[in-house]
Amino acid sequence: MAIKAGDKMPDGKFRVMTATGPAEVSTDELFKGKTVVLFAVPGAFTPTCSNQHLPSYLKNYDKVRATGIDTIACMAVNDVFVMDAWGKDRGVGDKIKMLADGNGEYTKALGLELDGSKFGLGQRSKRFSIIVKNGIAEKVNVDEGKYELTGAEATCSIN
């Protein structure tokens, strides 16, 4: 069953790249005491994700932060090395946390998995966005064919 507004975010871990190499970040570290916008993409370097979805958060960074968001985090069912390379390629710097859900475990815990097998992608994540306040999903948007539903503008109600 997919997560919905009002639900507690499931416990889990992500991999992130640090100056000393790959490290784990727990959901507690990510969400506790913070307001976070977590958005997910089916895959790093894929056209819509690279050219529209991730850039919507990057170009609207200041506007998103002005709405009270402490952290912007991007998740994909990709490994930490791919997520790091994609973040560097897109110039996210420290503005967006690039979270690797390499085995899709967190995606599955959210109930937002996508079977991309017919495109040669295997199991991935649906495109979604969640505003999380202190570990509780406040707003959940799931893309059913239009990335705009989960882009920064719609998720954070900015223009």
CATH number at residue 25: 3.40.30.10
pLDDT tens digit sequence for 34-90: 999 999 998 888 878 777 889 999 999 999 999 999 999 999 999 999 999 999 999
Would residue 119 count as lying in a domain?
A: no
Query: Does residue 147 form part of some domain?
Result: yes
| Distance of alpha carbon 122 from alpha carbon 149, whole angstroms | 24
- Looking at 9, 49, 98, 142, which residue is catalytic? 49
pLDDT at 107: 97
| Interatomic CA distance for residues 113 and 1, integer angstroms | 11
Q: What is d(CA 101, CA 152) in angstroms, rounded to the nearest whole number?
A: 21
156 is an active site residue = no
Q: What are the CA-CA distances from residue 101 to residues 14, 47, 97, 109 (Å)?
A: 6, 20, 13, 11
99 with 16: CB under 8 angstroms?
yes
Mean pLDDT of 113-134: 86
Classify each residue of 58-94 as buried b or exposed e, where b means 16 or more C-beta atoms within 10 Å of its C-beta: bebbebbeeeebebbbbbbbbbbebbbbbbeebebee
Q: Measured at the alpha carbon of residue 14, what is the angle toward residues 73 and 58, in degrees to the nearest 5?
A: 15
Length of the chain: 159
In a domain, 1, yes or no: no
For residue 27, being part of any structural domain is answered with yes
- List the strands of the sheet with 96-100, edge to edge: 21-26, 13-18, 96-100, 71-76, 35-41, 128-133, 136-142
Per-residue pLDDT tens for 106-116?
999 999 998 77
Across the range 87-115, mean pLDDT stands at 95
Which domain, by its residues, includes 18?
13-114+127-155
Domain count within the chain = 1
